[in-house]
Amino acid sequence: MADTPVEYIQHHLQNLTYGKLPAGYERLDPYTGEVLSVLDQATWTMARSAAEASDMGFMAFHVDTLGWSIAMGCLFLFLFRMVAKNATTGVPGGLQNVVEMTVEFIQGVVRDGFHGKNPVIAPLALTIFVWIFLMNSLKLIPVDFVPELLMWLLPIEYMKIVPTTDPNGTFGISIGVFILIIFYSIKVKGGLGFLKELSFTPFNHWALVPFNLVLEILGLLTKPLSLALRLFGNMYAGEVVFILIAILPFWIQWTLNVPWAIFHILVVTLQAFIFTTLSVVYLSQAHEDH
């Protein structure tokens, strides 16, 4: 375990990473730095330190991000399916009331932000909102509780339980939305129509086509970037504050943790709402056929 505040912070910000280390790689003790073993051949394994995770390169997997993302997706499906199967026409129960309010809220977002006709958009917006909300909500669990529990149960050195504090997680969602933007842009406008829109917007003159293409392609690429980085930045900053509070004396922790957690209930919901609303707006633009 970490002995200093810096090691504690680094430990809590490190993902559980699975990747490939090359032959001849020296595996070091993350705290003492002494050589523990030398790999005879290229090996897929869990990283024991931040240095190993970095050396695994681009094709490494953040197991905690993937695992908690899938878990929250399954929780979303389980809760909404259970409510749908047990729904009553009378006075709804607590969970059914929450689900109905969420569905009506997302219907309002789609009605105001989407001006095309596509039955996929509303379910997609509901999925994005609830999924991101559930992932963000994991931030409200004390930072040491789940990592220490899993380290006690399993030989796991690292565990970040909030997928949206990992840019890989937020970019995964935003790239999915971006693929849909491109798909519906081509489907609604046609391949040539989409290319014409890129070439003759905002200046409708053939001599300015190169300038238009640069502007429009940059504008297109900034959509997934803005979605991913906005969500990641807000969640990561909040996580860092929670970790900083956790290294303070116990009596100060409760003084600061409670108001910060209450404030983060708003942040968790707001970031899910912003991501969903922007996704709906971007998809609405993709359906506009001039």
CA-based Rg of the chain, rounded to a whole angstrom? 23
Which DSSP letter does residue 10 get? H
Catalytic annotation, pick one of 136, 234, 279, 284 = 234
146 shares a domain with 46: no
- Lowest mean pLDDT, pick from 85-89, 215-219, 240-244: 85-89
- Based on the residue annotation, tell me whether 257 is a catalytic residue of this protein: no
pLDDT, position 10: 85
pLDDT tens, residue by residue, 46-97 = 998 888 999 998 889 999 999 999 999 999 999 999 999 988 877 777 889 9
Range 166-181 average pLDDT: 96
26-40, 95-109, 205-219 — which one is most confidently predicted on average? Answer: 95-109
Question: Same domain, yes or no, for 71 and 46?
Answer: no
- Asked if residue 16 and residue 82 are part of one domain, the reply reads no
Report d(CA 167, CA 239) in Å as an integer: 13
Q: How many domains does the chain have?
A: 2
For position 3, what pLDDT does the model report?
A: 61
Confidence band, pLDDT 50/70/90 cuts, at residue 290: low
Q: pLDDT-based confidence at 2, cuts 50/70/90?
A: low
226 flagged as catalytic? yes
Which of 125-129, 202-206, 214-218 has the weakest average pLDDT?
Answer: 202-206
Catalytic residue among 226, 257, 279, 284: 226
Q: Which of 95-104, 144-153, 182-191, 233-242 has the lowest average pLDDT?
A: 144-153
| pLDDT tops 70 at residue 253 | yes
Same domain, 33 and 87: no
Residue 279's domain spans which residues? 63-286
d(CA 69, CA 161) in angstroms, rounded, equals 9
Q: Are 166 and 160 in contact (CB under 8 A)?
A: yes
Q: DSSP secondary structure string, 111-160?
A: HHH--S--TTHHHHHHHHHHHHHHHHHGGGS-TTHHHHHHHHHS------
Q: Is 54 tagged catalytic?
A: no
Are residues 130 and 70 part of one domain?
yes
Residues 53, 146: one domain? no
What count of Cα atoms within 13 Å lies in the side-chain half-sphere of residue 255? 5
Q: Are both 190 and 159 inside the same structural domain?
A: yes
Enter the tokens of residue 156.
Answer: 């796991």
The three-state secondary structure class of 191 is helix
Which residues sit opposite 28 in a β-bridge?
A: 35
pTM of the model: 0.91
User: Minimal CA–CA distance to 66: which of 175, 159, 176?
Assistant: 159
Percentage of the chain exceeding pLDDT 70: 99
In which band, very low, low, confident or very high, does the pLDDT at 12 lie, cut at 50, 70 and 90? confident
CA torsion 35-39-45-48 (nearest 10°) is: 10
Clarify whether residues 145 and 203 are in a common domain: yes
